[in-house]
Structure 1
Amino acid sequence: MKYPEVTALLSVLAVVFLRGAHGWDAPPFCHNYDCPEFTVVNKYEDFEERAYQVSRWITVDSLSVSDHDVKAGFTKLWDYTQWDNQAGEHVNTHTWPALISTTEVEDGGEKHVSLSFYVAAEDTVLPTPNDASIRDETMAAGTIYVRTFSGFPSDYNFQENLKTLRDALTQAGKAFDSHQYIAAGYEGPWTLIGRHNEVWIHAA
């Protein structure tokens, strides 16, 4: 199975790269930008267990994981932050990561895909979107299992790392959401070395 959402994520991260940080002392892979706060609970050979605090995101659904649909969705989010809202205000885009969340249905039917930008803690009140498909979402505090891999992401190495993470969680006896996974991006596509890529799976 291919994972074209990774290719799509790389192609759109270029428009969200101009960023700076406030608040939490984020880890180096956040590049001095705001990131959702977490504590490392445990490190394993093939994954890391993190306890995330509650976090806030602006999210839009995508029709599919095709490059075209994901680009269109991220463009909606980007435009919203750039004054395309009812208040005509700029929303802080100095944050990472950008997420592509995919939920698989049990019968093998169509996937549900959503795209998200992290909302900086300083943005306590967000302007109402002009586009009603954009929503203000909260990710509950909880455990997320994370596998990190370097190099330039591709459909192949994302699929490989997702499988490795799922297998490692099963072997470690961890209960996890087997139907959802998240691609988290922290760099623009022009960053060729020292890349930090993540696969997230929520604990069940």
Structure 2
Amino acid sequence: MLAVFLVTLHLLSQGGLAQWNRKPYFCSEVEECYSFVRVCKDSEYETRAYEPSIWVGSPVRPQEEKYQAVDRLKDYFNKENNPGVRIERTAPLLTSYLDISGRLTPTFVYHMLPRRYFVNPPEPRDSLLFLKRLPPLTIHVKTVGGWLTSLRQKSQDMFEDLLRQRENFLQSYFFTAEYNGPLTLFSRHNEIWYLSGGLPRCTGRRRYTQ
């Protein structure tokens, strides 16, 4: 993780990169989003450098549906925290996935706290919830429209794209990032994320330009 942290700091320091993308066009339903700099892009995926952040997370327990863990996060934002403040929602909703005994299984869900709470984040009242501080991260991202169906195939396609490009990435798990609420039926924006494990190879061949 230290190596990834140092690589991401290096990417963020490069003057040729775009400015922080604090409100990308696809993040339209909340006031704050997880901020990134786009490092490079090709037809299969793009690579982004993300800012430090703090998230509230919940496990998805065995025999439990994902929405039940998401509901615990909603309660936290709706005053189930100390000191009992209502916290504005952010995007995206992150879900981590593992392949457990041949089955793609959600393991944790996360929502980022607004930046004004990064210094003194409210503590969860629910003992299942926890706060997680993330350092700067470099993430490989594939955009998926509509609903997150056929997730195993889509994540496997991205996995193979990264292998083909000989990217250094963490292969044991991945994340989905959802930017829309359940009532949004059209023009949905979702992403599949694999964490980079070093300097992205794309910096030498596919520099992104605005």
Work out whether the TM-score is over 0.5.
yes
Q: What's 2:58 paired with? A: 60
Q: What's 1:119 paired with? A: 113
Of the candidates 180, 186, 190, which is equivalent to residue 193 of structure 1?
A: 186
| 2:187 aligned partner, one-letter code | G
Report the CA distance between 1:98 and its aligned residue.
0.5
Gaps of 5+ in 2: 1-19, 198-210
Larger Rg, first or second structure (1 or 2): 2
- Give CA-to-partner distance per residue, 1:13-56, whole Å, 9 cap, x none: xxxxxxxxxx9731111115311111111101110011111121
Q: What's 1:162 paired with? A: 155
How large is the Cα RMSD of the aligned pairs? 2.3
Stretch moving more, 83-92 or 171-180: 83-92
SS of the equivalent of 2:65 reads helix
| 1:145 aligned onto 2:140 | yes
TM-score w.r.t. the length of structure 1 is: 0.78
| 1:76 aligned partner, one-letter code | R
Q: What's 1:15 paired with? A: none
TM-score w.r.t. the length of structure 2 is: 0.76
Structural mapping, 1:1-204, within 5 Å: 25-31=22-28, 33-64=31-62, 68-93=64-89, 95-104=90-99, 113-123=107-117, 124-154=119-149, 156=150, 158-204=151-197
Q: 1:90 to 1:51 in 2, by over 3 A?
A: same
Q: What's 1:14 paired with? A: none
- Give CA-to-partner distance per residue, 1:138-192, whole Å, 9 cap, x none: 12212100000212321x1x22221111111001010111111101101123322
| 2:49 aligned partner, one-letter code | A
SS of the equivalent of 1:147 reads strand
Counterparts of 1:53 and 1:126, CA distance in 2: 17
Q: How many residues align?
A: 176
Q: Structure 1 stretches (4+) deviating beyond 3 angstroms?
A: 107-112
| 2:73 aligned partner, one-letter code | L
Gaps of 5+ in 1: 1-22
Q: 1:165 to 1:115 in 2, by over 3 A?
A: same
| Structure with greater proportional strand content | 2
Query: Are the counterparts in 2 of residues 46 and 147 from structure 1 also a CA contact under 8 Å?
Result: yes
Query: Are the counterparts in 2 of residues 46 and 164 from structure 1 also a CA contact under 8 Å?
Result: no
